[in-house]
Amino acid sequence: MSAWYSSNKRAMKTKDSLANLNTESAKQTLTVNTIRALGIDAIERAQSGHPGIVLGAAVIGHTIFHRFLKFNPVNPSWPDRDRFVLSAGHGSMLLYALLHLTGYDVSLDDLKAFRQFGSKTPGHPEYGLTPGVETTTGPLGQGFANAVGMAIAERYLGALFNAPGFPLVDHRTYVLAGDGDIMEGVCYEAAALAGHLGLGKLTVVYDANDVTIEGALSISSSTDVAGMFRALGWSVCHADGLDSASLINALNEATAQTERPTLVIAKTRIGFGSPSKEGKASSHGSPLGAEEAIKTKAALGYPSEGAFFVPETIKAQALLFKERGEKLERDWQDLFDRYQQAFPKKAGLFKELVEGRLPEDALKNIPTFYPEAGRLSTREASGRVLNALAKHLPTLIGGAADLAPSSMTYMEGMGDFQKENPSGRNIRFGVREHAMGGILNGLALHGGIFPFGGTFLVFSDYMRPAVRLAALMRLSVIYPFSHDSFHVGEDGPTHQPIEHIASLRLIPGLRVIRPADANETARAWSWALRHREGPVALILSRQKLPILKETLKDPQEGLERGGYALLDSEDDAPRIILVATGSEVHLAMLAHLALKEEGVASRVVSMPCLELFLAQPKDYQENVLPSTIKKRIVIEAGVTSGWPKVATDEGVCLTLDRFGVSGNAADIAKSFGFSLERVLQEARRLLNQTSR
Amino acid sequence: MSAWYSSNKRAMKTKDSLANLNTESAKQTLTVNTIRALGIDAIERAQSGHPGIVLGAAVIGHTIFHRFLKFNPVNPSWPDRDRFVLSAGHGSMLLYALLHLTGYDVSLDDLKAFRQFGSKTPGHPEYGLTPGVETTTGPLGQGFANAVGMAIAERYLGALFNAPGFPLVDHRTYVLAGDGDIMEGVCYEAAALAGHLGLGKLTVVYDANDVTIEGALSISSSTDVAGMFRALGWSVCHADGLDSASLINALNEATAQTERPTLVIAKTRIGFGSPSKEGKASSHGSPLGAEEAIKTKAALGYPSEGAFFVPETIKAQALLFKERGEKLERDWQDLFDRYQQAFPKKAGLFKELVEGRLPEDALKNIPTFYPEAGRLSTREASGRVLNALAKHLPTLIGGAADLAPSSMTYMEGMGDFQKENPSGRNIRFGVREHAMGGILNGLALHGGIFPFGGTFLVFSDYMRPAVRLAALMRLSVIYPFSHDSFHVGEDGPTHQPIEHIASLRLIPGLRVIRPADANETARAWSWALRHREGPVALILSRQKLPILKETLKDPQEGLERGGYALLDSEDDAPRIILVATGSEVHLAMLAHLALKEEGVASRVVSMPCLELFLAQPKDYQENVLPSTIKKRIVIEAGVTSGWPKVATDEGVCLTLDRFGVSGNAADIAKSFGFSLERVLQEARRLLNQTSR
């Protein structure tokens, strides 16, 4: 154990007696120990939680919140607040204690309800549930990537809106990350991009306690974290994470560094103060136990053994933070008022955007596609729509994980977002799908931005944990996923999505739209931008597809209801229904025509979004899929999954429950039974069966 | 452009005329250019493929295969061969050309069939399809992680089997990786672990061409890759990737370095030799075009413009490689024969293991659990079974992504696999789920190892791309995924899997088993170890569950058929069937008893593996789920997904299509309707409906 640590430890434990409260440092120590004590008590009461980080990183949390963070606890959504991200989400009680003590609407009763059903202090921080919680964390590395997205948003919006004398957007992003975050690949990817972009207002404090769940960090890692982050383009400084003065120095250094993001490696002790658990993995994820809790408070010199005790002098601080916060926001509001007079149009746009509203004319440029123009892949249609939208939606920003030319996610003439060009709108994410997912979440969380990010559908798996969090947080993120099926052809099974459409549909709240042609694609973008209740995945074809005159006629409504009758026989009521998505709609239409030749009336239902359709009123569903017509063929180039419900017991699913194969797409389609012959064969079989 | 490059480029392009073939270096250049020409032609013929890497990295591939790699093309599965992994899988034609020229069973006709349906030269290398292909690659970063697994396997097996004078297991692992690999998080995670473990026999050649699909690497990355890898504990050296001599020096240096893995940063030019595409992203993923192909061959000084031309002198090399390979293996076989005499028992075990056979007594220690022992979580049962198995299966190795104590994946007394302890069997993967997945694949691919790796089920998303590849390659990897539902409780929605069981089921070939109690868990392990056709996910509860006397009675068969009647009313035929998995089986049993009280006969079906059940003969399925009984309740604490098919149109699914919540598990269960009342209510409703 280093000398500084031993002496510091002594100091931390003896300084904080109430008698010494006349010194600033004694008050500080008492505040830190109050945070610790609240953590211990809440976790003890819940009989569940993670005391190790609360005890070990309390000084870090305190230093950030009390000495650096710009916030107004009375209005947690003040646009120009600094962002704080607890990437080590299991430290939720540290955050809740900080929020409580700095005047946020998190009461002592809320702390007492920690981890209880229905409380606003859940096991891991949840965005939208607790004031002051900027993002939902817990899955490691995600918060780090979110923070990179927030810092990008700040920089972009600053470039878009700020004017000389008007630093309208000027705030920092702070992260508290642990060993687990640093080990995650998503963190590396995000850090590499942050370094490349030179995000000088991003500061990550790394709570380096050298302990993980399985024991000493040294059993699984020998990484020189400082060396690594320097190699990624970061500024790195070291601090004693148990000493405020040391942290203040480091954070001042970080603030002074405007060219690079800064990693503060703050050495701490997990479970600090716990006589028998300090420095041990055993302090990580279980309550200390009643006896150890009391001993820990005693060891810390905390003035009460009783649960949830907060000294009056500490309580009083909340009011000061509220006053300070209101003043900060008032000053900013004054600035905004002056800005509004100088730049009324921009100010209006700013307000619209930070409130998450779509500017009025944002969608007016969406193109219509005509059959005469020939065949067009839906990825290309998506690219054209995106480019049209970009013109009237200045905070539509995004890109791809090094697949912009293939996923058609580049906005021409909008520049690249780079260190030297913060007003560029195309983000070059690099081959970093997972970080892209986390960063998109950060862009959405920051506010003011309409973020999108694309890759091949098959690689959506790489970013799945981030997509899940977007859905959990109901963030408005759009994913243009291209190359949507075995129709990719020659690239083979590693590049052919099979289970991906279905597995994305399983994520609660994610809307998965697979348009059948260019016009459905345009409508999907329109809907996705207006849908402010969660992420949307657009499932796009690589191969060219006809532009249908039927979708041209159909109003926006069909798409927005998830499924609709695209084509009916003119005279007779349909005897069979062909339900399809994306490129398979065209196969269904061919079958419709062939059946017509055979004198069989059929209906083609385009079902771009199964989840939306199933959420429609029963009568609408009945209208599209009359329960009297149970002879149904569902066609989708992917796994069967939930389709039997649509096909009913009497229908059939032409789907694909095996991996793909390398080869010409037409050969594969034939071999897998995605052919007119097969559809007709199944149709005839169903038509010949007597209905039950 | 650096001086070395310009001079070298000239040299490469003029040296190789047939007239100079008396020098070794001229022959070398001609071989390299033959590889390039074959790549150009095959891609041209397929009208699809990636010429950039074939042209740029041909010298690297040639140097590894012709100068360093120990292999026998006549027997690609010789256990002591060096492994070569093309992590940049889009360079498949580079690999196929190398295999063709070094005597593997990859003919010129095979090259002509590149990327064609049914050929053995698919778009990306596929394990099991092409002799000499050690792993399926394409999704970036995966091959890198596989190679780390292979190097771990080599080291572990060496420690297990080698004896003084008997270096039975003594081979190296080579990787060719590109910029895309290096940017992926999975690569970082795997590299960090490789550095920690000091895998001295692992050499990665990084084809540093500074170009990615979107353009110059510098638009998305400023990473100092050398600095980063040094920080991860690697040895790093630089080479001119277009110059054999430079590469040979670097690879010799790598070979001499036994304490650390080595990264050779080999500067190359993507599309080398192509007059108009060299150094450009346009050479990456599309054929050069007929005219450019001819111009490129001319620029390279290649002796023919004709397609698929291989000079006789180059053809002849294949025979030499075959002779050399057979000699290498013969020498090793001699060594093995002597080993067999000295250590007959170990030699027998070695043979069994490398052939993928389970040693005879491997399963004999699997425990049986008795209801009297009280309640036991299936994760804990899994841990006990694992520990019992470990005793008789010396190459059962694995661990967890820093969750060994929670997922119960630690083998007591078996030591940790560490640099200083290569015979340890517990791998400390660190908080690196994705690398764990890729490494497990590498362990399985290497052969001789029965690998397993666990984490919380919710974090299986982090490793999903690797799980998919395990399924695609049909690798025998076992995933003990614990904390399998909202029953996790307080940790909240970020830690409560909802869609995960279902989404894993969607991956073709992955078997997902959710045992109902300790005995089903034991049988699942037994089946998983014998199942040599693909990966198996074990879905394990955090919470304690009763040990059922019914599973105690049931033979192994029930589990292995995926679903079986666990409990029937003694006298009457069932009027309703309750189908459940995992912890929900106990709820179904409570309902069965309650219904019995009400005079209603019911059947409880435990369905630990839906996929296995659906693969059973129809009469077995009919036996378990008679089609006459359509009143069915399916209970699973996860999304509905494929269950309606089992429930039929007349049944109901008690599932969960929303995210979880933080709180006491019992409160959550009640709120989500996983309660006896709810099951009975649904049962009564169904029973009161007249059958259709």
Claim to verify: residue B420 and residue B504 sit in the same structural domain: yes
Chain A interface disruption, residue of B458, B491, B505, B533, most A CBs within 10 A: B491
Q: What is the pLDDT of residues A413-450, one digit of tens each?
A: 999 999 999 999 999 999 999 999 999 999 999 999 99
Q: Is B582 helix (H, G, I), strand (E, B) or coil?
A: coil
Could you identify the residue written with the tokens 């694909």?
Answer: A656
How far apart, in whole angstroms, are the C-alpha atoms of residue B514 and residue B481?
10
Could you identify the residue written with the tokens 């019911």?
Answer: B602
Rounded percentage of chain A residues whose pLDDT exceeds 70: 97
What domain count does chain A have? 3
Strand pairing category for A211-212 and A396-400? unpaired
B180 closest CB neighbour out of A49, A431, A461: A431
Claim to verify: residue A543 and residue A566 sit in the same structural domain: no
Give B607→chain A minimum CA distance, Å: 17
Claim to verify: residue A564 and residue A642 sit in the same structural domain: yes
How far apart, in whole angstroms, are the C-alpha atoms of residue A376 and residue B277?
27
Contacts of residue B52 in chain A, CB cutoff 8 Å? none
Cβ–Cβ contacts within 10 Å for residue A621, how many?
18
Claim to verify: residue A75 and residue A219 sit in the same structural domain: yes
Partner-chain contact A223 B213, CB within 8 Å: no
Where do the H-state alpha helices sit in A281-358? 290-299, 312-342, 344-354
Q: Are A687 and A631 in contact (CB under 8 A)?
A: yes
Q: Is A484 helix (H, G, I), strand (E, B) or coil?
A: coil
Partner-chain contact B195 A491, CB within 8 Å: no
pLDDT computed for residue A570 by the predictor: 84
pLDDT computed for residue A14 by the predictor: 36
Chain A interface disruption, residue of B221, B283, B432, B507, most A CBs within 10 A: B221
- Asked if the model's pLDDT at residue A7 lies above 90, the reply is no
The reply to whether A433 belongs to the active site is: yes
- Asked if the model's pLDDT at residue A9 lies above 60, the reply is no
The parent domain of residue B263 ranges over 42-326
pLDDT computed for residue A668 by the predictor: 97
Size of interface A-B (CB pairs under 8 A): 335
Q: What is the pLDDT of residues B649-662, one digit of tens each?
A: 899 999 999 999 99
Q: Specify the DSSP element, H or E, that contains A178.
A: strand A173-178
- Asked if the model's pLDDT at residue B16 lies above 80, the reply is no
Cβ–Cβ contacts within 10 Å for residue A318, how many?
17
Q: B347 in a domain, yes or no?
A: no
Q: A351 in a domain, yes or no?
A: no
Partner-chain contact A126 B662, CB within 8 Å: yes
Contacts of residue A655 in chain B, CB cutoff 8 Å? none
Give B114→chain A minimum CA distance, Å: 9
- Asked if the model's pLDDT at residue A20 lies above 60, the reply is no
Chain B interface disruption, residue of A221, A411, A486, most B CBs within 10 A: A221
Q: Which two tokens stand for residue A109?
A: 């009763």
Give B208→chain A minimum CA distance, Å: 14
Model confidence at B584, pLDDT cuts 50, 70, 90, reads: very high
**Residue A638 phi, psi (nearest 5):** -170, 180
- Asked if the model's pLDDT at residue A279 lies above 90, the reply is yes
Residue A448 Cα to chain centre, angstroms: 15
SS (H, E, C) B418-429: ECCECCCCEEEC
Could you identify the residue written with the tokens 């207002």?
Answer: A201
Claim to verify: residue B518 and residue B641 sit in the same structural domain: no
Partner-chain contact A185 B187, CB within 8 Å: yes
pLDDT computed for residue B329 by the predictor: 98
Rounded percentage of chain B residues whose pLDDT exceeds 70: 97
pLDDT computed for residue B323 by the predictor: 97
Q: What is the pLDDT of residues A201-260, one digit of tens each?
A: 999 999 999 999 999 999 999 999 999 999 999 999 999 999 999 999 999 999 999 999
Partner-chain contact A192 B221, CB within 8 Å: yes
Partner-chain contact B188 A189, CB within 8 Å: yes
Q: Which two tokens stand for residue B109?
A: 């006709």
Q: What is the pLDDT of residues B469-495, one digit of tens each?
A: 999 999 999 999 999 999 999 999 999
Claim to verify: residue B600 and residue B541 sit in the same structural domain: no
A196 closest CB neighbour out of B123, B220, B429: B220
Residue that finishes a domain, picked among B549, B577, B611: B549
Q: B336 in a domain, yes or no?
A: no
Given A433, A550, A560, A636, the catalytic residue: A433
pLDDT computed for residue B571 by the predictor: 79
This prediction has a pTM of: 0.96
Cβ–Cβ contacts within 10 Å for residue B426, how many?
24
Claim to verify: residue B298 and residue B423 sit in the same structural domain: no
Claim to verify: residue B541 and residue B567 sit in the same structural domain: no
Q: What is the pLDDT of residues A151-209, one digit of tens each?
A: 999 999 999 999 999 999 999 999 999 999 999 999 999 999 999 999 999 999 999 99
Indicate the average pLDDT of chain A: 95
Put residue B483 in one of left, alpha, beta given phi > 0 → left and psi -120 to 50 → alpha.
Answer: left
Partner-chain contact B508 A430, CB within 8 Å: no
pLDDT computed for residue A21 by the predictor: 52
Counts for chain B of helices (H) and strands (E), in that order: 28, 19
Q: What is the pLDDT of residues A542-555, one digit of tens each?
A: 999 999 999 998 77
Contacts of residue A668 in chain B, CB cutoff 8 Å? 117
Given B433, B560, B611, B636, the catalytic residue: B433
B115 closest CB neighbour out of A416, A640, A663: A663
Could you identify the residue written with the tokens 């918060």?
Answer: A143
CATH number at residue B59: 3.40.50.970
Q: B413 in a domain, yes or no?
A: yes
- Asked if the model's pLDDT at residue B4 lies above 70, the reply is no
Q: What is the pLDDT of residues A468-490, one digit of tens each?
A: 999 999 999 999 999 999 999 99
Model confidence at A19, pLDDT cuts 50, 70, 90, reads: very low
Q: B15 in a domain, yes or no?
A: no
Partner-chain contact B192 A223, CB within 8 Å: yes
Q: Which two tokens stand for residue B613?
A: 């059940």
CATH number at residue A582: 3.40.50.920
Contacts of residue B232 in chain A, CB cutoff 8 Å? 222-224, 228
Residue that finishes a domain, picked among B516, B549, B582: B549
Residue that finishes a domain, picked among B549, B575, B596: B549
Partner-chain contact B219 A428, CB within 8 Å: yes
**Sheet of strand B396-400, all strands in order from the earlier edge strand to the far edge:** B416-417, B426-428, B396-400, B450-456, B478-482, B536-539, B511-513
How far apart, in whole angstroms, are the C-alpha atoms of residue A76 and residue A130?
10
Residue type, A193: L
Contacts of B687 (CB under 8 A, 6+ apart): B575, B576, B600, B631
Give B510→chain A minimum CA distance, Å: 11
How far apart, in whole angstroms, are the C-alpha atoms of residue B537 and residue B467?
9
Contacts of residue B187 in chain A, CB cutoff 8 Å? 185
Claim to verify: residue B143 and residue B280 sit in the same structural domain: yes
Contacts of B259 (CB under 8 A, 6+ apart): B198, B200, B235
Claim to verify: residue A379 and residue A526 sit in the same structural domain: yes
Contacts of B106 (CB under 8 A, 6+ apart): B96, B99, B100, B120, B121, B130, B131, B132
Q: Which two tokens stand for residue A654?
A: 């032409």
Q: Which two tokens stand for residue B463?
A: 């490793």
Partner-chain contact A214 B404, CB within 8 Å: yes
Chain A interface disruption, residue of B431, B504, B657, most A CBs within 10 A: B431
A429 closest CB neighbour out of B220, B641, B644: B220
B494 closest CB neighbour out of A136, A192, A671: A136
Q: B180 in a domain, yes or no?
A: yes
A649 closest CB neighbour out of B118, B506, B648: B648
Q: A363 in a domain, yes or no?
A: no
- Asked if the model's pLDDT at residue A8 lies above 80, the reply is no
Give B271→chain A minimum CA distance, Å: 18
- Asked if the model's pLDDT at residue B21 lies above 90, the reply is no
Beta-strand ranges (E) seen in B474-615 are: 478-482, 511-513, 536-539, 564-568, 576-580, 602-606
Q: Are B487 and B662 in contact (CB under 8 A)?
A: no
Claim to verify: residue A59 and residue A194 sit in the same structural domain: yes
Q: B667 in a domain, yes or no?
A: yes
Indicate the average pLDDT of chain B: 95
pLDDT computed for residue A24 by the predictor: 82
Claim to verify: residue A488 and residue A589 sit in the same structural domain: no
Q: Are B596 and B572 in contact (CB under 8 A)?
A: no
pLDDT computed for residue B13 by the predictor: 43
